[in-house]
Chain A
Amino acid sequence: MAIEELQEIFDDKIKQEIKIEPKDWMPDDYRKTLIRQISQHAHSEIVGMLPEANWITRAPTLKRKAILIAKVQDEAGHGLYLYAAAETLGISREGMVDQLLCGRAKYSSIFNYPTLNWADIGAIGWLVDGAAIMNQVPLCRASFGPYSRAMIRICKEESFHQRQGYEILLTLSRGSKEQKAMAQDALNRWWWPSLMMFGPNDDASPHTVQSMKWKIKRFTNDELRQKFVDVCKEQADILGITIPDPDLKWNKERNHYDFGEINWEEFRNVIKGNGPCNKERLSARVSAHENGEWVREAALAHAKKRRKEVIA
């Protein structure tokens, strides 16, 4: 078939909301965009385990510890669903892992911030998983089948994450004066980086228009960020803590909250690798990978030996 004809079939499927599957013809740029987006997303899930894992050994109760382990294990699962979805587009697992470990691949800037105390685990569940859900729910309808299916699976698991975080803060905010102050302090530090998770403003986001045409994205960065701010305000009020933004106020005309300007300088800086924990995160991944090398080798050697025994 001529390329024009293939393109036409592809465009028609997108228009009719028919999913694109791995063996279907697709434009090169669509494939590249998906590989970039899905692999970055997978890396974020994997690196995202690190800030929370930092508190597993010091969770305040056994119950909290078991919950946090389950949550972090889910994130590992999310990374694996997404790596597998990206592999259907022709990139290898080793290729993606290499890109992450050599520092070439991006992952969400939020995970380059430190978790200083237990309240941060609450703030991450509430805000970071909350922002992730806001981003991910529309991705359940992404035009590429394997991505959409992975996102459906992920979204089912995410709401537990957000609730567990919110409940940590709820407990703190109903506790002693010091505990309430911890909850406020965590919100102060995580609020702005959470807003940055939605990416640059629409006029500075070069890929958005094309991604929306391809129905990979359904909403722009600014639209999603606005929804997030709108729902968080009420949630913060219930906790009795204050969002650290003097410009946050209800705008009756827009029917949305207005909010202050994000520090884009800081955002770009963290993306470039100069956030508080970029080096620590990457070196943790590199050493995990290197220290796991002998396990992978042993597993393969064992499998090979078993195959020989079966043949003999």
Chain B
Amino acid sequence: MINNEPLWEVFIRSKQGLDHKHVGSLHAADAQMAIENARDVYTRRMEGVSIWVVESKYIHASNPDEAASLYDPANDKIYRHPTFYNLPDELKYM
């Protein structure tokens, strides 16, 4: 069987003003066909106003095994969150 159609990741903007969001993947010979296939596979009910496709081999991902150390620097900085600060009850607006 000859089928080396590459794998593409599909991202869809569901409406103007929102980010493109990953929705899944599909196989297609080239980018144009990937977009057309994505329309048929992922937007049959008007789920999108814009489609991005990118060949899966170009996605670089962080390693889940290293998640603990990778996100460690953010872990102990609770003072980045507004809830860290104790303010008097009299203060109504801030």
Contacts and interface: CB of A to CB of B under 8 A. Distances in A.
B27 A97 contact: no
A46 interface: no
A300 B4 CA distance: 8
Nearest to A70: B44
Nearest to B3: A94
A293 B5 contact: no
A299 B63 contact: no
A167 interface: no
Contacts of A36: none
Contacts, number: 59
Contacts of A93: 3, 27
B30 A303 contact: yes
Given A1-B65, A94-B3, A87 B25 contact: yes
Given A23-B61, A299-B33, A87 B3 contact: no
B29 A74 contact: no
B1 A94 contact: yes
Contacts of A306: 30
Contacts of B5: 296, 299-300
A240 to B, nearest CB: 33
A23 B63 contact: yes
Given A23-B64, A25-B65, A77-B44, A296 B2 contact: yes
A252 interface: no
Interface in A83-126: 84-85, 87, 93-94, 97-98
B53 interface: no
Contacts of A300: 2, 4-5, 29
B7 A296 contact: no
A150 interface: yes
A84 B2 contact: no
- Greatest chain A CB density within 10 A among B24, B45, B65 is at B24
A76 to B, nearest CB: 8
Contacts of B1: 94, 97-98
Counting contact residues on chain A (CB < 8 A from B), the size range is 20 to 34
B64 A80 contact: no
Nearest to A21: B64
B33 to A, nearest CB: 6
A25 B64 CA distance: 9
Given A303-B29, A306-B30, A296 B63 contact: no
A80 B5 CA distance: 14
B91 to A, nearest CB: 38
Contacts of A299: 5, 28-30, 33
Given A1-B65, A23-B63, A302-B29, A74 B24 contact: no
Nearest to B27: A93
Contacts of B49: none
A161 B5 CA distance: 31
- Greatest chain A CB density within 10 A among B1, B5, B44, B45 is at B1
B41 interface: yes
A28 interface: no
Interface string A278-312: 00000000000000010011011011001100000
B26 interface: yes
Given A74-B44, A77-B44, A296 B24 contact: no
Interface of B: 1-5, 7, 24-30, 33, 40-41, 44-45, 61, 63-65
26 contacts: A1-B65, A23-B61, A23-B63, A25-B64, A70-B44, A73-B40, A84-B24, A84-B25, A84-B26, A87-B25, A93-B27, A94-B3, A98-B1, A149-B24, A153-B24, A157-B44, A296-B29, A299-B5, A299-B28, A299-B29, A300-B5, A302-B29, A302-B30, A303-B29, A306-B30, A307-B30
Given A296-B3, A300-B2, 12 more contacts: A70-B44, A77-B44, A85-B24, A93-B27, A97-B3, A149-B24, A150-B24, A157-B45, A297-B2, A299-B5, A299-B29, A303-B33
